Amino acid sequence: MSAPTNRSLFERAQRVIPGGVNSPVRAFRSVGGTPYFVARAEGAYVWDVEGRRYVDYVQSYGASILGHAHPRVVEAVRRAAGEGTTFGAPTEREVLLAEELCRRVGGLEMVRLTSSGTEAAMSAVRVARGATGRPTVVKFAGCYHGHSDALLAAGGSGVADQGLSGSAGVTPGAVADTVVAPYNRVPEIGDDVAVVMVEPVAANMGLVPPAPGFLEGLRQACDRAGALLCFDEVITGFRLAAGGASERLGVRPDLWCFGKVIGGGLPLGAFGGRRDVMEQLAPLGPVYQAGTLSGNPLATAAGLAVLAELDDAAYTMLEGRATELRTMLAAVLADAGLPAQVPRAGPLLGLHFSATPVTDYDQARAAAESGTYRRFFRALLDRGVALAPGAYEALFPSLAHTRDDIERTADLAAAAARQVSERH
């Protein structure tokens, strides 16, 4: 048998997996072409099954902040696997991880671990409804909170790329208590609202930082209405700062959702917040929530190993790299005459092909639909740099990206930008 190629694997995949992928954006529908199938990854790089190497700014959409296959994480997972991979009984590492999360995030008094960010967000909504006795969830257009029915409307990210406002299979009843408001404007919060769910820095419509006063305004509006405020920090948590976006931006929610970084590349999410709210969960209270693999021994081992590396020096370094990349990318795009915005929030970067700054979902969509991202993505991928295969995703420089990697990226981006602008 000949060695598999990206094309041959994609053809086989499409016969047995819908679209050939287990998460839609991976299918490259919005950028065109055949997805690369990853054979292995290390640090800032991934290699596909054909042996091509890419500087990787996907980094599993932020799940690997140290870069791929970090030796300490690999060792922690290896050791944990040898001790058994799941028990259906509590373990010490769950306690250690919960303690570490609560130690880092001011106001986070209790957490429960899940296996994904979707579960974390879905469960946060349930406990908020249970604690307040109210039905309504307010979310913002372009914010993604996983793929649960009630939260999928106007979900940005891969939902946007599919051209669906939400999803078939979600009944009107399932979203009857969901209200969608434009990002960066404080909506009216009525006394029927259980929870206002928001990405404190939106990172699923490209990167859209909060406007000054937006999060403070939400805090005040929630307090006035007796509603809970939930920050979905699945991307920003333990990335924007040791204490995440709430620390960095100085607004404290009642509830949080986490994922990505805290699993160190394994399936792990968490939701938590005020003790009085979290004590509504079973077995203490009436709100049911559970999971066979929740607090999984491998995932907690990886998460603890990652957090152990994330000290102040690491955050400073990560932000420095992101700042360099931002400056260089903005410069080469401008040199090529491509109108582009490269917003940065701490170590997170965005890329909107727009002449003006993007502050909400309508503007993000207009930028995405110009088609320039698609051409730039392809020109860059051909040169060995992998951005996310969709205009609604952020860029995730990791701690493994060296100054050399950033400079090489900028050189390749300059050539890619020239190629795109010639074709305009």
Ligand X SMILES: *Cc1c(COP(=O)(O)O)cnc(C)c1O
Phi, psi (degrees; rounded to nearest 5) at 201: -125, 115
- The minimum distance between CB 287 and ligand X, in angstroms, equals 20
| CB nearer to ligand X: pick between 146 and 343 | 146
Closer of 44 and 205 to ligand X (Cβ): 205
| Residue of 149, 138, 153, 142 lying closest to 187 (CA atoms) | 138
Q: Which stretch binds ligand X (CB under 6 A): 48-56, 131-139, 232-240, 312-320?
A: 232-240
Question: Among 43, 146, 210, 343, which residue interacts with ligand X (rule: CB under 6 A)?
Answer: 146
**Is the CB of residue 295 less than 8 Å from the CB of residue 91?**
yes
The correct pick among 64, 91, 132, 204 for binding ligand X (CB under 6 A) is 204
235 binds ligand X (CB under 6 A): yes
State the binding string over 248-267 for ligand X (x if CB under 6 A, else -): -----------x--------
Torsion (CA) 371, 372, 376, 378 in degrees, nearest 10: 20
Please say which residue, 20 or 265, places its beta carbon nearer to ligand X: 265
Tell me if 394 contacts ligand X by CB under 6 A.
no
**Contact between 116 and ligand X (CB under 6 A)?**
yes
Could you tell me which of 159, 120, 108 has the C-alpha nearest to residue 259? 120
Residues in 174-203 that interact with ligand X by CB under 6 A: 199
Binding track, positions 315-334, relative to ligand X; x by CB under 6 A: --------------------
Q: Of 122 and 193, which CB lies nearer to ligand X in the complex structure?
A: 122
**Which segment (142-150, 245-253, 299-307, 402-410) binds ligand X by CB under 6 A?**
142-150
CB of 422 vs ligand X, minimal distance in Å: 35
Kind of pairing between the strands at 45-48 and 53-56? antiparallel
Write the DSSP string, 288-349.
----TTTT-HHHHHHHHHHHHH--HHHHHHHHHHHHHHHHHHHHHHHHTT---B--EETTEE
Q: Does 159 bind ligand X (CB under 6 A)?
A: no
Binding of ligand X at residue 118 (CB under 6 A)? Answer: yes
Interface segment toward ligand X; rule CB under 6 A; list 1-9, 160-168, 176-184, 230-238:
230-238
Q: Do residues 220 and 176 lie in contact, with contact meaning Cβ atoms separated by under 8 Å? A: no
In the set 56, 232, 360, 405, the catalytic residue is 232
Q: Which of 230, 234, 255, 270 binds ligand X (CB under 6 A)?
A: 234
144 binds ligand X (CB under 6 A): yes
In the complex, what is the shortest distance from the CB of residue 59 to ligand X, in angstroms, rounded to a whole number?
12
Omega into 135 within 30° of 0, i.e. cis? no
Give the separation between CA 343 and CA 398, rounded to whole angstroms.
17
Least gap, CB of 146 to ligand X (angstroms): 4
3-state DSSP call for residue 96? Answer: helix
139 in catalytic set = no
Report d(CA 153, CA 174) in Å as an integer: 10
Kindly determine how many residues on this chain lie close enough to bind ligand X according to the rule CB under 6 A.
15
Catalytic annotation present for 57: no
CB atoms closer than 10 angstroms to residue 8? 14
* Residue 47-66 contact track with ligand X, rule CB under 6 A, x = bound: --------------x-----
260 is catalytic: yes
Residue nearest ligand X, Cβ-based: 117
- Helical H runs in 180-311? 214-225, 244-249, 275-278, 297-309
CB distance 373 to 396 below 8 Å: no
Which lies closer to ligand X via its Cβ, residue 35 or residue 265? 265
- Nearer to ligand X by Cβ, of 67 and 269: the residue is 269
If one asks whether residue 239 binds ligand X (CB under 6 A), the answer comes out as: no
How many angstroms separate the Cα of 217 from the Cα of each of 176, 187, 254, 318, 382? Answer: 25, 9, 15, 30, 44
Catalytic choice (144, 183, 315, 373): 144
**Pick from 110, 121, 170, 400: which binds ligand X (CB under 6 A)?**
121
- Provide the Cα torsion 179, 132, 284, 102; round to 10°: 70
Amino acid at position 293, single letter = L
Torsion sign (Cα): 110, 127, 231, 43: positive
- List the catalytic residues: 144, 232, 260
Residues near ligand X (CB under 6 A) are 61, 116-118, 121, 144-146, 199, 204, 232, 234-235, 259, 269
